[in-house]
Amino acid sequence: MAAGDLIKNETGTQRLIGYVIDVGQPDKRARCTLSVTDHHLNRHNVLHGGIATTMLDSAMGATASLSVDPSGRAPFLTVSLTTQFVAAATEKSKLIATGEIVGGGRSLLFVDGELRDGSGRLIATATGVFKRVPADKLDAPKGSDG
C-alpha cells in the first residue's frame, strides 16, 4: 500500500474521530480503520454506535468513489444508510470497516458494509445507497441549489 492510498486528516470528522481510509487495495473495496480509545466509547464503555456508523459510511462512500476514481475522492452523497449492530467493541480494539458495491447504475450505487475487530469478529453491518455528485454541481457556490 502506497502512502497515496491512505486518506488521513482530510475532513473535520476524520480528524475528530481519528480514522484512516485505505483506498489502495486491489479489490477496490475501501477500508476505514480506527484504534478505539476511551474517546470513542459510550457510557457503557463500549464503542459508540455513531462511531461505528461513521466508519461504515466512510468506507462505503469511499468504495462507491473508487468505482469512478482510483484516488477514492470523487464525491458521493449518502442517500440512505441502515446499520445493524451485532457485537460490542471495547477500548483498544482495532476496527476495520469495509465497503462492497452490490448493485446500482451510473448515478446510484448500492453498497454493503462490514465492521470487524482485529480478530475478525463482526461488530456491525450496514446497507446504503450512494449518489454520485454530478460534475456541474461540484463548484456550486454555497447556498445554491444542489
In a domain, 144, yes or no: no
pLDDT for position 144: 46
The whole domain housing 61 covers 3-137
In a domain, 142, yes or no: no
Count of domains in the chain? 1
Tens digit of pLDDT at every position of the chain (146 positions): 455 699 999 999 999 999 999 999 999 999 999 999 999 999 999 999 999 999 999 999 999 999 999 999 999 999 999 999 999 999 999 999 999 999 999 889 999 999 999 999 999 999 999 999 987 777 655 554 44
In a domain, 146, yes or no: no
In a domain, 143, yes or no: no
Q: Is residue 32 packed enough to be buried (19+ CB in 10 Å), middle (13-18) or exposed (0-12)?
A: buried
Distance of CA 112 to the CA centre of its chain: 11
> How far does the chain reach from its first CA to its final CA, in angstroms?
35
Q: 30: domain CATH number?
A: 3.10.129.10
- CB atoms under 10 Å from CB of 107, counted, come to 11
In a domain, 145, yes or no: no
Q: Which residues pair with 35 in a beta bridge?
A: 94
3-state secondary structure of 15: helix
